[in-house]
């Protein structure tokens, strides 16, 4: 069976870059789904694990920390997968990525120097969550603010002061924190 010349040309065209792009997107979607499932399963095990037996366990708090860590891990994974997929798709269009990667390196250094405080805030937020320094509903004393924690994010912690003021505290600026809600040993 022979294909007409036009059908053969269309097949040859589709079997090239368009098919590669479709395969890249499908693989990226599969990796995203498999990775999200693996992260969710792993963190569900961590959330339900009995790391601190006894009355100080704080299972709900442990679940919230695992949920926050899962969100961060999924976001990082998705960003990495789609960045790689995008560069592969651009290379299928014949774009020379050498100069783009070199420019991205220079821009990355400039952004890194300019975003030091953001990076410091996020790293501090991660350690605050891991170390369970404070959680939503805790009564804390931090910097000049005394109040109840309304949210703990990676970059910012919000505290409702006793006078009703909502304070937004950058995690990188929090050098010491007093938590009145955590039980004594």
Q: Report the distance separating Cα 140 and Cα 173, nearest Å.
A: 15
Closest to 149 (Cα-Cα) out of 174, 130, 127: 174
Question: pTM score > 0.85 for this model?
Answer: no
Percent above pLDDT 70 for the chain: 90
What pLDDT was estimated at residue 32?
A: 95
Contact partners, residue 88, CB within 8 Å, separation at least 6? 24
What pLDDT was estimated at residue 82?
A: 92
- Assess whether pLDDT exceeds 60 at residue 185: no
Closest to 147 (Cα-Cα) out of 169, 129, 125, 166: 166
Q: What is the CATH number of domain 5-114?
A: 1.10.287.1260
Confidence band for 26, pLDDT divided at 50, 70 and 90: very high
Q: Report the distance separating Cα 73 and Cα 79, nearest Å.
A: 10
What pLDDT was estimated at residue 52?
A: 58
What pLDDT was estimated at residue 2?
A: 61
Residue with tokens 């961060």: 72
Instruction: Name the average pLDDT for the chain.
Output: 82
DSSP 172: G
Average pLDDT over residues 34-44: 90
Domain with CATH 2.30.30.60 in the chain: 131-179
pLDDT tens per residue across span 120-144: 888 888 888 777 788 888 899 998 8
Helix (H) or strand (E) holding 49: none
Contact partners, residue 58, CB within 8 Å, separation at least 6? 52, 132
**Tally of residues, the chain:** 185
Q: Which residue has the higher pLDDT, 181 or 146?
A: 146
Q: What tokens were used for 179?
A: 């938590």
What pLDDT was estimated at residue 71?
A: 79
Q: Name beta bridge partners: 140.
A: 147, 179
- Assess whether pLDDT exceeds 70 at residue 162: yes
- Asked whether the CA dihedral 33, 76, 151, 46 is positive or negative, the reply is positive
- Assess whether pLDDT exceeds 60 at residue 88: yes
Q: Provide the Cα torsion 26, 28, 32, 35; round to 10°.
A: 110
Domain with CATH 1.10.287.1260 in the chain: 5-114
Q: Which CATH number fits domain 131-179: 3.50.30.30, 1.10.510.10, 2.30.30.60, 2.60.40.10?
A: 2.30.30.60
- Assess whether pLDDT exceeds 80 at residue 12: no
Average pLDDT over residues 156-176: 92
């Amino acid at each position: 069976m022979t294909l007409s010349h036009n059908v053969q040309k269309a097949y040859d065209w589709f079997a090239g870059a368009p098919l590669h792009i479709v395969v890249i997107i499908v693989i990226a979607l599969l990796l995203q789904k498999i990775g999200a499932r693996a992260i969710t399963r792993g963190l569900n095990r961590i959330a339900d694990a009995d790391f601190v037996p006894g009355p100080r366990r704080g299972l709900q708090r442990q679940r919230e920390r695992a949920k926050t860590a899962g969100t961060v891990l999924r976001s990082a994974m998705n960003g990495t997968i789609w960045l790689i997929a995008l560069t592969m798709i651009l290379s299928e269009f014949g774009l020379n990525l050498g100069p783009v990667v070199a420019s991205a390196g220079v821009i990355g250094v400039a952004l890194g120097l300019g975003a030091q405080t953001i990076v410091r805030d996020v790293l501090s937020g991660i350690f605050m969550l891991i170390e369970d320094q404070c959680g939503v509903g805790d009564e804390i004393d931090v910097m000049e603010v005394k109040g109840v924690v309304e949210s703990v994010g990676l970059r910012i912690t919000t505290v409702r002061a006793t006078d009703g003021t909502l304070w937004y505290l950058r995690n990188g600026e929090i050098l010491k924190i007093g938590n009145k809600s955590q039980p004594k040993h």
